[in-house]
Structure 1
Protein backbone atom coordinates (compact mmCIF):
# COMPACT_ATOMS: atom_id res chain seq x y z
CA UNK A 1 0.00 0.00 0.00
CA UNK A 2 1.39 3.41 -0.93
CA UNK A 3 1.59 6.30 1.51
CA UNK A 4 -1.15 8.11 -0.45
CA UNK A 5 -3.44 5.09 -0.04
CA UNK A 6 -2.69 4.92 3.70
CA UNK A 7 -3.60 8.60 4.06
CA UNK A 8 -6.75 8.27 1.97
CA UNK A 9 -8.22 5.32 3.91
CA UNK A 10 -9.25 7.36 7.02
CA UNK A 11 -10.67 10.09 4.79
CA UNK A 12 -12.83 7.61 2.89
CA UNK A 13 -14.08 6.13 6.19
CA UNK A 14 -14.98 9.62 7.44
CA UNK A 15 -16.87 10.41 4.22
CA UNK A 16 -18.92 7.20 4.57
CA UNK A 17 -19.73 8.05 8.20
CA UNK A 18 -20.93 11.52 7.18
CA UNK A 19 -23.09 10.05 4.41
CA UNK A 20 -24.64 7.56 6.83
CA UNK A 21 -25.39 10.15 9.54
CA UNK A 22 -26.55 13.01 7.29
CA UNK A 23 -30.11 11.66 6.77
CA UNK A 24 -30.54 11.18 10.54
CA UNK A 25 -29.29 14.71 11.25
CA UNK A 26 -31.58 16.14 8.58
CA UNK A 27 -34.58 14.25 9.98
CA UNK A 28 -33.82 15.52 13.52
CA UNK A 29 -33.47 19.11 12.30
CA UNK A 30 -36.76 18.84 10.38
CA UNK A 31 -38.67 17.93 13.56
CA UNK A 32 -38.55 21.39 15.14
CA UNK A 33 -41.93 22.12 16.73
CA UNK A 34 -43.80 25.03 15.13
CA UNK A 35 -45.07 27.84 17.35
CA UNK A 36 -48.23 29.91 17.00
CA UNK A 37 -47.52 33.37 15.56
CA UNK A 38 -49.10 35.12 18.52
CA UNK A 39 -47.45 33.10 21.33
CA UNK A 40 -45.67 35.09 24.02
CA UNK A 41 -43.67 34.16 27.13
CA UNK A 42 -43.03 36.82 29.77
CA UNK A 43 -41.99 37.50 33.37
CA UNK A 44 -44.77 38.11 35.86
CA UNK A 45 -42.08 38.68 38.50
CA UNK A 46 -39.39 39.91 38.86
CA UNK A 47 -39.68 43.05 36.79
CA UNK A 48 -36.83 44.54 34.81
CA UNK A 49 -34.55 46.53 37.13
CA UNK A 50 -35.82 44.82 40.30
CA UNK A 51 -33.53 44.93 43.35
CA UNK A 52 -33.77 41.69 45.32
CA UNK A 53 -32.60 41.46 48.94
CA UNK A 54 -31.05 38.10 49.72
CA UNK A 55 -30.23 35.58 47.04
CA UNK A 56 -33.46 33.55 47.03
CA UNK A 57 -36.53 34.73 45.16
CA UNK A 58 -39.51 33.45 43.21
CA UNK A 59 -39.58 33.70 39.44
CA UNK A 60 -43.13 33.72 38.08
CA UNK A 61 -43.47 32.90 34.38
CA UNK A 62 -46.35 33.78 32.09
CA UNK A 63 -47.41 32.35 28.72
CA UNK A 64 -50.03 33.60 26.24
CA UNK A 65 -51.70 31.75 23.38
CA UNK A 66 -50.06 28.42 24.21
CA UNK A 67 -50.30 25.83 26.96
CA UNK A 68 -47.74 24.45 29.38
CA UNK A 69 -46.97 20.73 29.23
CA UNK A 70 -44.20 18.71 30.90
CA UNK A 71 -41.17 17.46 28.99
CA UNK A 72 -41.93 14.39 26.93
CA UNK A 73 -45.54 15.41 26.25
CA UNK A 74 -45.97 15.92 22.51
CA UNK A 75 -49.11 18.04 22.26
CA UNK A 76 -49.50 20.81 19.63
CA UNK A 77 -49.43 24.35 21.00
CA UNK A 78 -47.60 23.45 24.22
CA UNK A 79 -44.13 23.70 25.72
CA UNK A 80 -42.35 24.22 29.02
CA UNK A 81 -40.29 27.02 30.53
CA UNK A 82 -36.52 27.45 30.63
CA UNK A 83 -34.77 30.30 32.45
CA UNK A 84 -31.58 31.63 30.87
CA UNK A 85 -29.36 33.26 33.54
CA UNK A 86 -26.44 35.50 32.56
CA UNK A 87 -26.22 33.93 29.11
CA UNK A 88 -27.41 34.29 25.52
CA UNK A 89 -30.17 32.24 23.91
CA UNK A 90 -28.90 28.87 22.64
CA UNK A 91 -28.71 28.21 18.88
CA UNK A 92 -32.05 27.63 17.16
CA UNK A 93 -33.00 24.04 16.42
CA UNK A 94 -30.74 22.55 19.09
CA UNK A 95 -31.68 21.28 22.57
CA UNK A 96 -31.41 23.85 25.35
CA UNK A 97 -28.39 23.04 27.54
CA UNK A 98 -28.97 22.06 31.16
CA UNK A 99 -26.47 23.83 33.40
CA UNK A 100 -26.30 26.66 35.93
CA UNK A 101 -27.10 29.20 33.19
CA UNK A 102 -29.96 27.24 31.59
CA UNK A 103 -32.55 26.14 34.15
CA UNK A 104 -35.18 23.63 33.00
CA UNK A 105 -38.71 23.47 34.35
CA UNK A 106 -39.67 20.22 32.64
CA UNK A 107 -42.42 19.33 35.09
CA UNK A 108 -44.46 22.21 33.69
CA UNK A 109 -43.71 24.68 36.48
CA UNK A 110 -44.88 28.27 36.02
CA UNK A 111 -43.04 29.53 39.09
CA UNK A 112 -39.77 28.52 40.71
CA UNK A 113 -37.57 29.48 43.63
CA UNK A 114 -34.20 30.64 42.30
CA UNK A 115 -31.04 31.54 44.17
CA UNK A 116 -28.42 33.86 42.70
CA UNK A 117 -25.25 35.33 44.20
CA UNK A 118 -25.05 39.07 44.94
CA UNK A 119 -24.60 41.26 41.89
CA UNK A 120 -26.28 42.20 38.64
CA UNK A 121 -27.83 39.36 36.61
CA UNK A 122 -29.70 39.00 33.33
CA UNK A 123 -32.73 36.72 33.04
CA UNK A 124 -34.58 35.56 29.96
CA UNK A 125 -37.34 32.99 29.46
CA UNK A 126 -37.30 30.53 26.56
CA UNK A 127 -40.03 28.01 25.81
CA UNK A 128 -38.94 24.51 24.82
CA UNK A 129 -40.86 21.65 23.25
CA UNK A 130 -41.19 18.10 24.60
CA UNK A 131 -37.49 17.50 23.83
CA UNK A 132 -36.18 20.84 25.24
CA UNK A 133 -35.76 22.28 21.72
CA UNK A 134 -36.93 25.87 21.12
CA UNK A 135 -39.99 26.18 18.88
CA UNK A 136 -39.83 27.66 15.38
CA UNK A 137 -39.88 30.58 15.57
CA UNK A 138 -38.44 30.62 19.12
CA UNK A 139 -40.71 31.91 21.88
CA UNK A 140 -38.61 33.96 24.30
CA UNK A 141 -39.09 36.92 26.59
CA UNK A 142 -37.13 40.10 26.48
CA UNK A 143 -33.99 39.95 28.60
CA UNK A 144 -34.37 41.65 31.98
CA UNK A 145 -31.81 42.69 34.58
CA UNK A 146 -32.07 42.16 38.34
CA UNK A 147 -29.70 43.13 41.11
CA UNK A 148 -29.24 40.80 44.09
CA UNK A 149 -28.01 42.39 47.35
Structure 2
Protein backbone atom coordinates (compact mmCIF):
# COMPACT_ATOMS: atom_id res chain seq x y z
CA UNK A 1 0.00 0.00 0.00
CA UNK A 2 1.24 3.50 -0.78
CA UNK A 3 2.88 5.14 2.27
CA UNK A 4 1.24 8.47 1.40
CA UNK A 5 -2.22 6.90 1.62
CA UNK A 6 -1.40 5.36 5.00
CA UNK A 7 -0.11 8.71 6.31
CA UNK A 8 -3.18 10.52 4.98
CA UNK A 9 -5.41 7.96 6.71
CA UNK A 10 -3.60 8.56 10.01
CA UNK A 11 -3.94 12.33 9.67
CA UNK A 12 -7.66 12.04 8.87
CA UNK A 13 -8.19 9.76 11.86
CA UNK A 14 -6.55 12.33 14.13
CA UNK A 15 -8.59 15.17 12.67
CA UNK A 16 -11.84 13.29 13.13
CA UNK A 17 -11.17 12.37 16.74
CA UNK A 18 -12.99 14.56 19.26
CA UNK A 19 -9.70 15.85 20.71
CA UNK A 20 -8.72 17.40 17.37
CA UNK A 21 -11.55 19.97 17.44
CA UNK A 22 -11.89 22.91 19.77
CA UNK A 23 -15.49 23.63 20.69
CA UNK A 24 -16.70 27.12 19.76
CA UNK A 25 -18.38 29.04 22.58
CA UNK A 26 -21.94 30.25 22.14
CA UNK A 27 -23.16 33.70 23.15
CA UNK A 28 -24.93 34.06 26.50
CA UNK A 29 -28.31 35.33 25.31
CA UNK A 30 -28.64 33.31 22.13
CA UNK A 31 -31.99 31.93 21.01
CA UNK A 32 -32.58 29.49 18.16
CA UNK A 33 -36.13 28.82 17.03
CA UNK A 34 -38.37 27.73 14.17
CA UNK A 35 -40.36 30.70 12.87
CA UNK A 36 -42.68 28.59 10.70
CA UNK A 37 -44.40 26.20 10.77
CA UNK A 38 -45.86 26.58 14.25
CA UNK A 39 -45.82 23.75 16.75
CA UNK A 40 -48.81 21.40 16.19
CA UNK A 41 -49.48 22.88 12.73
CA UNK A 42 -51.09 20.80 10.01
CA UNK A 43 -49.25 21.44 6.72
CA UNK A 44 -48.94 20.10 3.19
CA UNK A 45 -45.75 18.96 1.51
CA UNK A 46 -43.46 20.53 0.49
CA UNK A 47 -43.13 22.18 3.90
CA UNK A 48 -41.51 25.60 4.14
CA UNK A 49 -39.40 25.82 7.30
CA UNK A 50 -38.04 29.22 8.35
CA UNK A 51 -35.21 29.35 10.88
CA UNK A 52 -34.84 32.08 13.52
CA UNK A 53 -31.74 33.10 15.47
CA UNK A 54 -31.08 35.99 17.84
CA UNK A 55 -27.98 36.81 19.87
CA UNK A 56 -25.62 35.26 17.30
CA UNK A 57 -25.08 35.54 13.55
CA UNK A 58 -25.14 33.14 10.62
CA UNK A 59 -21.95 32.36 8.68
CA UNK A 60 -21.34 29.65 6.10
CA UNK A 61 -19.57 26.43 7.05
CA UNK A 62 -15.81 26.84 6.89
CA UNK A 63 -15.96 30.51 7.90
CA UNK A 64 -14.71 31.00 11.44
CA UNK A 65 -16.17 34.12 13.04
CA UNK A 66 -16.86 34.68 16.71
CA UNK A 67 -20.52 34.29 17.74
CA UNK A 68 -21.63 32.79 14.43
CA UNK A 69 -22.68 29.42 13.13
CA UNK A 70 -24.91 27.77 10.58
CA UNK A 71 -28.14 25.83 10.88
CA UNK A 72 -28.64 22.08 11.10
CA UNK A 73 -32.12 20.56 11.08
CA UNK A 74 -33.02 17.40 12.94
CA UNK A 75 -36.06 15.64 11.50
CA UNK A 76 -37.71 12.93 13.58
CA UNK A 77 -34.63 12.59 15.80
CA UNK A 78 -34.92 11.42 19.40
CA UNK A 79 -31.44 12.52 20.47
CA UNK A 80 -29.20 15.51 19.91
CA UNK A 81 -25.85 15.06 18.14
CA UNK A 82 -22.84 14.22 20.29
CA UNK A 83 -21.21 17.31 21.83
CA UNK A 84 -17.74 18.17 20.59
CA UNK A 85 -17.98 16.15 17.38
CA UNK A 86 -19.00 17.13 13.84
CA UNK A 87 -22.66 16.51 13.11
CA UNK A 88 -23.36 13.82 10.59
CA UNK A 89 -25.83 11.07 9.98
CA UNK A 90 -29.47 12.07 9.65
CA UNK A 91 -28.88 15.80 10.16
CA UNK A 92 -29.71 18.27 7.38
CA UNK A 93 -26.83 20.72 6.99
CA UNK A 94 -27.28 24.30 5.79
CA UNK A 95 -23.61 25.15 5.39
CA UNK A 96 -24.29 27.92 2.89
CA UNK A 97 -25.83 30.05 5.62
CA UNK A 98 -29.42 29.34 4.54
CA UNK A 99 -32.17 30.46 6.89
CA UNK A 100 -35.08 28.58 5.32
CA UNK A 101 -35.82 25.48 3.31
CA UNK A 102 -38.68 23.71 1.52
CA UNK A 103 -38.73 19.98 2.27
CA UNK A 104 -40.80 17.15 0.93
CA UNK A 105 -42.00 15.13 3.91
CA UNK A 106 -44.14 12.00 3.91
CA UNK A 107 -47.69 12.33 5.29
CA UNK A 108 -47.91 11.86 9.05
CA UNK A 109 -46.47 13.31 12.23
CA UNK A 110 -42.93 14.70 12.20
CA UNK A 111 -40.70 16.46 14.70
CA UNK A 112 -38.38 19.32 13.76
CA UNK A 113 -35.53 20.81 15.80
CA UNK A 114 -32.67 23.15 14.94
CA UNK A 115 -29.12 23.08 16.25
CA UNK A 116 -26.42 25.61 15.45
CA UNK A 117 -23.05 24.32 14.30
CA UNK A 118 -19.74 26.14 14.04
CA UNK A 119 -17.44 26.35 11.02
CA UNK A 120 -16.60 22.62 11.44
CA UNK A 121 -20.28 21.54 11.91
CA UNK A 122 -19.61 21.03 15.64
CA UNK A 123 -22.30 22.10 18.14
CA UNK A 124 -21.34 25.18 20.16
CA UNK A 125 -20.65 24.98 23.89
CA UNK A 126 -23.14 25.22 25.42
CA UNK A 127 -25.26 23.82 22.60
CA UNK A 128 -27.57 26.23 20.79
CA UNK A 129 -30.75 24.22 20.21
CA UNK A 130 -34.33 25.15 19.41
CA UNK A 131 -37.35 23.63 21.07
CA UNK A 132 -38.55 20.54 19.26
CA UNK A 133 -41.83 21.10 17.43
CA UNK A 134 -44.29 18.57 16.02
CA UNK A 135 -46.12 19.03 12.72
CA UNK A 136 -48.70 16.95 10.87
CA UNK A 137 -48.19 16.59 7.12
CA UNK A 138 -51.40 15.82 5.20
Q: What TM-score range do you get, normalising by the shorter chain? A: 0.7 to 0.9
The list of structure 1 runs, each at least 4 consecutive aligned residues, that deviate by more than 6 angstroms after superposition, is none
Task: Give the corresponding residue for 2:48.
Answer: 58
Indicate the SS of the match to 1:120: strand
Q: Count residues in correspondence.
A: 124
Encode CA deviations 1:2-25: one digit per residue, 9 max, x unaligned: xxxxxxxxxxxxxxxxxxx88x94
Q: Specify which of 25, 28, 38 is matched with residue 20 of structure 2.
A: 28
- Greater C-alpha radius of gyration: 1
Q: Residues 1-149 of structure 1 correspond to what in structure 2 (within 5 A)?
A: 25=17, 27-29=19-21, 31-53=22-44, 55-87=45-77, 88-98=79-89, 101-149=90-138
TM-score of the two chains, using structure 1 as the length reference: 0.78
Indicate the SS of the match to 1:109: coil
- Computed over aligned residues only, the root mean square deviation of the Cα atoms, in angstroms, reads 1.7
Task: Give the corresponding residue for 1:3.
Answer: none
Give the unaligned 5+ runs of structure 1: 1-20
Superposition deviation, residue 115 in structure 1 = 1.1
Superposition deviation, residue 27 in structure 1 = 4.2
Indicate the SS of the match to 1:132: coil
Report which of the two has the higher share of helix: 1
